[in-house]
Amino acid sequence: MKFTAIQIAEILDGEIFGKKNVEVFSLSKIEEGEVGSLTFLSNPKYTPFLYSTKASIVIVNKDFIPEKEIETTLIKVADAYKAFSTLLEFYDNAKAVKSGIEIPSYINESAIIGTNLYLGAFSYISAKVSVGSNVKIYPNVYIGENVKIGDNTIIYPGSKIYSETIIGSNCTLHAGVILGSDGFGFIPSAEGVFSKIPQIGNVIIEDNVDIGAATTIDRATLGSTIIRKGVKLDNQIQIAHNVEIGANTVIAAQTGIAGSAKIGENCMIGGQVGIVGHITIGNNVRIQAQSGVGRNIKDDEIIQGSPTMGYSDFNKSYVYFKKLPELVATINSLEKDIKALKGKK
């Protein structure tokens, strides 16, 4: 796809300084720009690259004034970073314009399909599935029985959606996502043999949720595992049965959440966090990366460590953690001195 400076300026409501008809067909970093690429400048430390970049068009802030002659065409906007993000979204949407049903693929005759479906090859839609309009299902996706998928949702290759799962509108499921697999429920016998507890609940994904690649969300034992509207999940996250995650919470990669944990709204959870089951985490909580959470957390707390403690307390304690060898040596020396003094009495 090619775009001229005029077209881009119209999309961004920007002002052109340079060649109005210059064309671009790719995006780049400013320091790696080539002829035919579009980039942006928002961080002042990258300004020197503006005078050497080969990028054909650079988006800059309105108040930017070049200190010397430049060859590239500038498009001045109110906020260069935001404008470039807008273009990324526009470019991504343009690439994702797909429709039609590829062969081979399968749609059960009882499924209800909305308008403008894209169904990639080797995908499978089971009985009594409901799919909204403008949905894109990429190749090698499995959709189980009684699944419901809302409008404008995208499911990328290799995802598996088990039966009874409900997915809202405007959701994105990246490659390899698994929704509705069995929760990890077993009962040990007196002989130490584990018997499986049937998992007969489902998974509910509300509107505007993003789920990263290879993330797994287990079905509930009873009831539902629920991901509320606006939640953003990174890659390789494990969410166990009967968990509930509040609206607009963001969770980074490799986090594991055990069964029946309840997480509030607008939380930010770092990578590789472990959360035990059957606890409640309040709203607006911040959990630093690699923390181990084993207790209830109140609203607005910032925590770190394993087991977790208050973020400020952790930082104060860490000063002493680093000095432990020195402190131990000091204590040992003092003990020797005390023993020596006692021996002289």
* CA–CA distance, 25 with 35 (Å, rounded to integer): 9
- Determine the residue type at 289: A
Query: At a CB cut-off of 8 Å and minimum separation 6, what does 69 contact?
Result: none
For 36: left if phi > 0, alpha if psi spans -120 to 50, otherwise beta; the answer is left
3-class secondary structure, 71: coil
Helix, strand, coil shares of the chain as percentages rounded to 5? 20, 30, 50
CB of 284 closer than 8 Å to CB of 299: yes
* Contact criterion met (CB below 8 Å) for 18 and 45: no
Helix (H, G, I), strand (E, B) or coil at 251: strand
Assess whether 174 carries a catalytic annotation. no
Please tell me which residue in 123, 169, 241, 255 is annotated as part of the active site: 241
Q: Which residues are catalytic?
A: 241
